[in-house]
Amino acid sequence: MEQTYIEDVARHEGEEVTLRGWLYNKRSSGKLHFLQVRDGTGTIQCVVFKKEVDPEVFERASHLTQESSIEVRGTVRADERSPLGFELGVTAIELVGESTDYPISPKDHGVAFLLDNRHLWVRSSRQHAIMRIRSEVSHACRRYFDERGFVLFDSPILTPNACEGTTTLFETPYFDETAYLTQSGQLYLEAGALAFGKAYCFGPTFRAEKSKTRRHLMEFWMIEPEVAYMDLEADMDMAEDFVEYVVQRVVANRSAELAILERDVARLQKVKKPFPRIAYDEAIEMLHDKGFEIEWGADFGAEEETAISDAFDRPVLVHRYPAACKAFYMKNDPEDARLALCVDMLAPEGYGEIIGGGQREDDWQTLRDKIRHHGLPEEPFAWYLDLRRYGSVPHAGFGMGIERVVAWICGLHHVRETIPFPRMLDRLRP
Ligand code: 4AD
Ligand code: MG
């Protein structure tokens, strides 16, 4: 029998269809069962009326338990009271797989319990909304670069190179050597940019962050574009245009999901170019005015980032941080050698840094000295230095963390709900 998906029932009004899904919830009286059935594309109320079905169908419905998988046959009819606009008048039900003592009931559970049951929690309506938005964000990210002539240039996950410092590396034996799980595809992507002009990568990245915050995961997904002949200013233009595109696509395509999450969409609609741009020096002044005692030279923590972003109603680009608090590969500002030609984008509403990037050091000698200065081993970086020996050009790019962007767009307190199976300091399971 042909299966109809709940998202398509509107096209079958008045017809008899077969749905395949799971029992989400049930209400019963002596004569009626109201089954909430979900199939992943939506939820529909299925009405089993004692007078209209065989006694064994009514009996079967009365014993159905939460999350049992079922095949339901019935007639699609309009129902103004349901959010879907339709319900199903049931004629037959088959039990496919029973579910006994489903651990997640409609009542409230603590987050730790829900995370222990993440493999089941992802079936609930809020998690559905978040995962669909994540899927939309990922799709928008790819689409943006695909439509602008970038080549998808996948970077390796196992690497001998530390891109973002040596304190957050996950090590793994690699036959007779030691490999790390990649912290960022950037270094390899620079090779891609010098080969293709415009390249991007999109994949999981890993950081052994010994901090338990609402913004940090050990495994997160990053989209990273890299462009040859690009400077910091053009890099900021690209970051701004890209973020506007991604946010507005979600607003346009995922309004139902944003409504389930009760997100204030007006705030997202404000995410339009131009975004404010301030230099690190100005950010420090702002912080001093707000009573922070931060010294020039220090990187910003979560509190500082929130204080800065609170001054704006859209993301803010903070550029030219002190080189000493940033990664080895950054190019120094020719106007002030203490500064790096870098940029962080801070999301509004306290979501913190969503993008980090900038212009890369393109001079062989300077880069070799930086590698030494940062105490990094030279041998694994020989190939990376080569890029400065064979036709080096100014180039720039950035990385955007998908989970932080999804948390911001969805208005979530913590990044743990933005990825199907979060990896955190105290959580490797399920
Ligand atoms: O600022 P980061 O460390 O920049 C880089 O890795 C560059 N190599 C990227 C590039 O220029 N191609 O990280 C980029 C972004 C951050 O702005 C943040 O959104 C996210 O990655 N991020 C994390 N997200 C979740 N959990 C963590 N532990 C994260 N660390 C960084
Ligand atoms: Mg950063």
For residue range 271-288, list pLDDT tens digits in order. 999 999 999 999 999 999
Rounded mean pLDDT, 179-187 = 98
Asked, colleague to colleague, whether 6-97 and 118-417 share their fold, the answer is: no
Cα 398 to averaged position of ligand 2 atoms, centre (Å): 10
CATH for 118-417 is 3.30.930.10
Predicted confidence at residue 108, as pLDDT, reads 87
Probe ligand 1: pick from 222, 325, 405, max atoms within 8 Å of CB?
222
Look up residue 96 and give its DSSP letter. E
Ligand 2 centroid distance, CA of 263 (Å)? 26
Cβ distance 109 to 103 under 8 Å?
no
Which listed ligand is nearest to 217 at the C-alpha? 1
Ligand 1 centroid to Cα of residue 49, in Å, is 55
Distance (Å, whole) CA 422 – CA 127: 13
Tell me the best of 190, 213, 220 to mutate to test the pocket of ligand 1, counting ligand atoms within 8 Å of each CB and taking the most: 220
Helix axes of 232-253 and 125-146: crossing angle, nearest 10 degrees:
140
Q: What is the pLDDT of residue 211?
A: 84
Tell the residue nearest (CA) to atom 28 of ligand 1: 216
Buried b (16+ CB within 10 A) or exposed e, 256-284: ebbebbebebebbeebeeebeebbbeebb
Q: At what angle do helices 125-146 and 402-410 cross, to 10 degrees?
A: 130
Please name the residue whose Cα sits nearest to atom 7 of ligand 1: 399
The CATH topology of domain 6-97 is OB fold (Dihydrolipoamide Acetyltransferase, E2P) (2.40.50)
Query: Hey, whose CA ends up nearest to atom 21 of ligand 1?
Result: 401
Q: Whose CA is nearest to atom 24 of ligand 1?
A: 401
Instruction: Express as a percent the part of the chain with pLDDT over 90.
Output: 98
State pLDDT tens for residues 10-64: 999 999 999 999 999 999 999 999 999 999 999 999 999 999 999 999 999 999 9
Cα distance between residue 114 and residue 267, in whole Å = 29
Does 156 sit behind a cis peptide bond, omega within 30 degrees of 0 on the bond before it? no
Question: What is the position in ligand 1's atom list of the atom closest to the CA of 397?
Answer: 11
Residues with CB under 6 A from ligand 1: 163-164, 184, 186, 207, 209, 216-217, 220, 222, 224, 353-357, 397-401, 403-404, 415
For the chain, the average pLDDT equals 97
For the chain, what are the domain ranges? 6-97, 118-417
